Amino acid sequence: MCGRFSAISETDVLKKRFKVKLIQKKNVKNLRKKYNIAPGDWARMINSNRELEVAKWGLLPDSSYSTFNAKAETLEEKQSFAPLFKNGQRCLIPSDGFYEFPVGEFGKRSMRLALENDKTFSYAGLYRESVDSVTGQVGTTFTIITCEPNEIVHPTSGLKIHDRMPVILHEGDEDAWLDSDTSIKNLKGLLKPYRGSDMLSYEVSSFINKTKNEGETCWLGVDQVDRFDWL
């Protein structure tokens, strides 16, 4: 599962890193970096045409439910995901880390997971144009694909953070993920856990627990935050 993530690189940095051809002008007020992105929030996304746009997290069928995660193992079986996966509605979701909230020996903890050196990376996602059943507005929505966890997310001993993790694509695999000519077999081969040896995890404060909270405090280690500063 992936239910919260951050994406704090400036848009100009994302444009270069992901070889963006065009930045769409719709919904530009949400074209900004964020430390605390939750389902239902707006986030920056690179579509199959290498266009950077703002989309809502949670794949929204025209008259059904919102789905913010999609299991890699069942993409071809689920009607909500199969057409998008097979027909080139694949996207990149830029990020620099995600959060999980495991329950350990001393209660609920807030953990941040990222690549070494806090490098910008992308999640494998699916997207579509959707009609909001409440407002009637048409916009882009997306889902993040998840897979089995690696040894950082679900170690053999110690705190088990989660039994799923988002699919983090290697930079060299991003072109293949977006390419409409990539075979289904090769696409499925990309949907695997990222190397745990190239990742880090650490505990952050419960400031991140509230979806309305924003800013660098979301990232800080639990020992770096004075809780009385923000309560």
User: In the Cβ-directed half-sphere of 91, how many Cα atoms lie within 13 Å?
Assistant: 29
Reading phi first (left if > 0) and then psi (alpha if -120 to 50, else beta), residue 217 is in alpha
Residues labelled as active-site residues: 2, 100
DSSP, collapsed to helix, strand or coil, labels residue 129 as strand
- 162 in Cβ contact with 130 (< 8 Å): no
Per the listing, tokens 């996207």 go with: 91
Helix, strand, coil % over all residues of the chain, rounded to 5: 25, 35, 45
Cα–Cα nearest to 82, from 13, 128, 36, 27: 128
Q: What single DSSP character describes residue 48?
A: T
